Chains A and B, each alone.
Chain A
Amino acid sequence: MTEHDITLTVNGTEHDLTVEARTLLAHALRDELGYTGTNIGCESSLCGACTVEMDGEAVKSCTALAVQADGTEITTVEGLAEGGEMHAIQRAFQEEHGLQCGYCTPGMMMTSVEILKENPNPTREEIREGLEGNLCRCTGYQNIVNAVQNAAESMGSGAVADGGTREEGNTAGDGPATDGGTVVDACDAPGGCGCFDGDAVDDVADDGGDSR
């Protein structure tokens, strides 16, 4: 099996390593470089536990070869927190009890970060669709969806596109955020108040782009 010298920049640190052509990125990260936060749950790219960010995009590291990642910037779960501060998504998962055994969680959070990058104020349905590449067997997903909405609120303007409630029936103290972004009054009309469909959401959202 041919070997290759590659360079991976992981969470800001450059690593030079030698891998076989067939070495999976997931194994290179875990076994060669010791970034064991990224977990392997299957070998058919279904479960998403291995999701990392490669050059800004969520990628399943079990179906990427290490050699494909040569020269790229990779972010793993170990790189989410910055300067000792948890990322909003991590805080949100903790607050919302969005994890139980924790095995799917690193990948789940990496994908959630990507969802919010593309759609800073997703509806619950959009979050569920966005997470179709990540399986969880413990939580039943409900608190994960809550966590992503929680992170959306704290990262963005506080607008929640489906009518303001964190979930069906929940009114426990989660009113619109007042972090300086545009405050949106959410009404309780079934199915969301409809004031924020389409373009209106972009107008209202703070700046839509940042994931931190």
Chain B
Amino acid sequence: MSIESLDPDEVTAADILGSAIERREDPALITGDAEYTDDIQLADMAHMSVVRSRYGHARIEGVDTSEAEEMPGVIGVYTHDDLHREDTPGGGSFELPTGWLLPSLNNVSHPVLAKDHVRYQGDAIAVVVAEDRYQAADAAKAVDVDYDRLDAVTNPDEALGEEAPALHDDAEGNVAFDWKIGDEEKTAEAFESAAHTTSIDITNQLVIPNAMEPRAAVADYSPGTDELDVFMTTQNPHLHRLLMSGVIGHPEHKLSITAPEVGGGFGSKIHHYGDEALVSWCSKLLERPIKWTATRSETYLTDAPGRGHETEAEIAMNDDGDVIGLRVDTRANLGAYLSTFAPAVPTYLYGTLLSGQYDIPAIYGHVTGAFTNVPPVDAYRGAGRPEASFLVERLMNRAANEIGMDPVEFRKRNFVPDDAFPYETEVAVVYDSGEYEKPMNEALDLLDYENFRERQKQAREEGRYLGIGFSCYIEACGLAPSELAGQLGAQAGLWESSVVRFHPSGTVTAYCGTSGHGQGHSTTYAQIVANELGVDYDDVEIVEGDTDEIPHGMGTYGSRSAAVGGSSLVMSARKVVDKATEIAAHQLEADPEDIEFGDGEFTVAGAPDRGMAIQEVATQSYLAHDMPDDTEPGLEATSFYDPDNFVFPFGTHAAIVEVDPDTGEISFEKYVAVDDVGNQINPKIVEGQVHGGVAQGVGQALYEGAEYDDNGTLLTGSMQDYAVPKAEHIPEMTTESTVTPSPHNPLGVKGVGEAGTIAAPQAIVNAVTDALEPFGVESVEMPMTPERVWKAVNEGATADGGEPVDETDAADGGDR
């Protein structure tokens, strides 16, 4: 059921939390008023363009900038050597760091501008600064690079093989890391005693995030104050500030990063790329504002792709169909260098979710990270969790088929039971709360599953192939408990900060260190704060995305904003209420213990006519004429909320598809999503997040895939070749939710941003293999293009090389 949105003016303060109000972000966005990074025009602004490697792997013999320097409007052309000159702004490493250190990590050098070795097609070699963007683009083409081409490798298994070209001196065999989780021996024993094992080979293909707004940055250096202001497409301004300050050598306290309106991120705007460092450096050098905006093709060459796993996995079962073991070997594509979050994505964000929604007594996972000649791979919506969920749900589906059990029954008998929470998995995490049958049963209702198998049988008799696929996903989000993160190698804490501040006139500004880019934080955070303080929603203003205004924060990704940012706001708001209670008590001449607070009013217990509105308390706090002893004037509070644990949203998605074996086309009959994301601050926004996430999952399942040739040349180099799904490609989605509040944060929220992307692909792949079961098809690789489907049907063999199906057995009487 679609949720009806409400006009905020028609919702009372008491009801605001949990209400599907329209977003306050929208008026600026729908009128074109909102300012995105490329909209920014500063006086005397110049433009930067980047000269990038044409080849996937090469040595650089020389860079001739002389022709470019002479072109109209060109102010300067700068290479690696210019960054390190005595007379240019220095002090920085000019190397991009990675933010997550694993014990086995080969932490290779990642220069901002390549010196003599380029490792992906897109690796930056030089920058041009010119008066206008067209001139900058022209001059970039005139920079002459002398390449000595090297062999390239783009597949992680090939990269780890004997014959592969070496990308880094410090990474023997192109190994980035070697990582394990779980208990290898215990798992081996489980397999030895198994009644049945099922195995699967999976490629989880590289995808390109494609936020609609290309990356951009505007840097403005003031020589008089030594202040450097940078406006950029970021999901985490403070992280960018911290990292960039080290990269370019500008003191953190003199560097300010602001996220203007940001047009989507999906992970791709978390990472610190060389581009923003270079723009900032140029601004310091030239003492002028400088703008850089990527073209879409440039984003394809440089934005961190997601996924990129090659996996073999197997599952062991006993006689009754209980899963007793899971064993996984994955080789993860890291790309040419280590991007900011990269080492964590195929390890801690992946391996720890291998238990899925199931009670699996023995698990072992081994992941090898490989350097290849593709752009540095990093977090993309879901970041490790889609890969885990895809693997588990494809295996569960296949296992059920192999032992002849209904895929729903098989899953249900293996779910973690309701009374087992908190449930400690074999892969380090403890699931906080869950009721896995609830969304599954709701989904079965919506699908009319009871009648589906009969319909499917009838359809087959008519020569039509319907299939149903399930995806019972779980994810860990709300990154993250800092101590745990530190133990796992994170080079940062993953708490979140906020300030809640009353003004003397009784209105409120609340600040949070997260950084929304479409998620509606201005609306939902105001709902949270208004609810806590008992003030009108309209009287609360939210500020995010500006390092000058907000204490250090960790940004928005990993479905953390509500769980960690929202919780921090609750903490700060409650501190404010506590202080206000003291002041009210003093002014009402009562004991603070006797003060009650509700609907924004402080009253004396038993004397309800004696009270003070919180706004009055605020005014009084700034007048400070009559304050309790030991209480400072003012009414505001700062908090840093460090979560106790991850939060674990879960749910069941399912797809019913029809596959045409003659054309390979797949059409959706139904797509159902039942998600449990805990309490919902704004159900309309929650629903929108599920829609968007599912669409990206559909994209990976049916349309998307970054493809490189043997030379590391990107073949899907623009939107003409890389199929970002259109409106006609996405099915109508039926969305419902169940609510199991998280016990770990004051809001009881679990995070929803990534759920759809994590759940969808396997639901669709499972549905297609179910539809094509009469043809003996067990697997179709993503993206499941019509060609791939057709081949799977007509080649008749399974992905594992099983026996081709005898054509005369075809359900339609051999019409092919």
Contacts and interface: CB of A to CB of B under 8 A. Distances in A.
A127 B727 contact: yes
B263 interface: yes
Contacts of A198: none
Interface in B687-725: 687-688, 691-696, 718-720, 724
Interface stretch (A131-139, A153-161, A179-187, A202-210): A131-139
B30 A94 contact: yes
Contact of B720 (A41, A46, A86, A94): A46
Interface stretch (B19-27, B433-441, B778-786): B19-27
Contact of B39 (A30, A41, A96, A99): A30
Given A137-B210, A138-B212, A141-B695, A86 B30 contact: yes
B263 A46 contact: no
B212 A131 contact: no
A46 B4 contact: no
A109 B30 CA distance: 8
B734 interface: yes
Nearest to B214: A41
B407 interface: no
Interface stretch (B517-525, B531-539, B608-616): B517-525
B31 interface: yes
Given A101-B264, A135-B719, A138-B692, A43 B296 contact: yes
Nearest to B23: A97
A42 B718 contact: yes
B193 interface: no
Contacts of B39: 30, 36
Given A20-B134, A103-B264, A132-B727, A138 B518 contact: yes
B691 A142 contact: yes
B289 to A, nearest CB: 14
A102 B261 contact: yes
Contacts of B732: 124, 142, 167-168
Interface in A61-83: 76-78, 80-81
Interface residues of A, number: 69
A192 to B, nearest CB: 14
B699 to A, nearest CB: 9
Contact of B5 (A39, A77, A78, A97): A97
Contacts of A128: 726-728
A151 B674 CA distance: 29
B188 interface: no
A38 B39 CA distance: 10
Interface in B9-67: 22-23, 25-36, 38-39, 41
B35 A36 contact: yes
B46 to A, nearest CB: 13
A146 interface: yes
A44 interface: yes
Contact of B2 (A30, A129, A170): A170
A104 B25 CA distance: 15
B36 A142 contact: no
A142 B213 contact: no
Given A36-B32, A37-B31, A142-B733, A137 B212 contact: yes
Contacts of B35: 36
B262 interface: yes
Nearest to A125: B728
Given A138-B518, A141-B730, A49 B32 contact: no
A93 interface: yes
A84 to B, nearest CB: 11
B138 to A, nearest CB: 9
Contact of A139 (B4, B41, B692): B692
B1 A169 contact: yes
Nearest to B698: A140
Interface of A: 20, 22-23, 27, 30-31, 34-44, 46-47, 49, 76-78, 80-81, 86, 90, 93-97, 99-106, 109, 124-125, 127-129, 131-132, 134-146, 166-173
Interface of B: 1-5, 22-23, 25-36, 38-39, 41, 133-134, 210-214, 261-264, 266, 295-297, 517-520, 684-685, 687-688, 691-696, 718-720, 724, 726-728, 730, 732-734, 756
Top-4 shortest CB links A-B = A37-B32, A103-B263, A101-B518, A102-B29
